[in-house]
A and B are shown apart, each in its own frame.
Chain A
Amino acid sequence: GQNIDQPTEMTATEGAIVQINCTYQTSGFNGLFWYQQHAGEAPTFLSYNVLDGLEEKGRFSSFLSRSKGYSYLLLKELQMKDSASYLCAVRDITDSWGKLQFGAGTQVVVTP
């Protein structure tokens, strides 16, 4: 089995930076994904890490340390539209192919 832990909620000001941490324990790790989900909508893909290090995509960056079972998503130059839930998901190949195990999500609230 596995646990995926991320903070429940974070609040930040428009223009600021927020870092969302995710820790996981899994026996069949094969990649970590970050998704953004606005209320009432489907998750949309943000980033993918399978090797240690930092992946940068515009205002969003994601970091992975497999030895520590740790990842973070960094959101820079926050905009009001970034208010959403951010889901950390681990791909587990122990029991099946491509199964994603999701954390409960971190609700980010961006204030003016």
Chain B
Amino acid sequence: DAGVTQSPTHLIKTRGQHVTLRCSPISGHKSVSWYQQVLGQGPQFIFQYYEKEERGRGNFPDRFSARQFPNYSSELNVNALLLGDSALYLCASSLSDRGIEETQYFGPGTRLLVL
């Protein structure tokens, strides 16, 4: 079975531009979460979606938005890019949000560089 997939793998943008990152969860998983990981730090929670509804949002500005589609894939959008948005963006999926089923499995990430 395919794991979590993300696209693109790498992206270079300039300040002020916007970016859309995509994620396809493991087949059968209904929950998708997004994380930002800056070099040398652990991933920071951005959003979680379950059954197409936003369940939680981390401490990120409104420039960050996301959505989940009927097929449970998801997009993360970032507007008005800043240099500090340069990071590895990770998508994680889980079956649900209960018990061991809540184990999140990560995709390979999208490495974003803002110049």
Contacts and interface: CB of A to CB of B under 8 A. Distances in A.
The answer on A and B forming one complex is yes
Interface of chain A, main secondary structure: strand
Q: Size range of the interface on B?
A: 20 to 34
Given A96-B56, A98-B55, A99-B56, A45 B105 contact: yes
B84 interface: no
Nearest to B99: A50
B57 interface: yes
Interface of B: 31, 33, 35, 40-45, 48, 50, 55-58, 90, 92, 94, 97, 99-100, 102-109
Interface residues of A, number: 25
Contacts, number: 67
Contacts of B31: 98
A98 B48 contact: yes
A5 to B, nearest CB: 11
Nearest to B3: A42
Interface stretch (A58-66, A67-75, A102-110): A102-110
Please give me the 5 A-B residue pairs with the lowest Cβ-Cβ distance, nearest first.
Answer: A96-B56, A102-B42, A42-B106, A98-B97, A97-B97
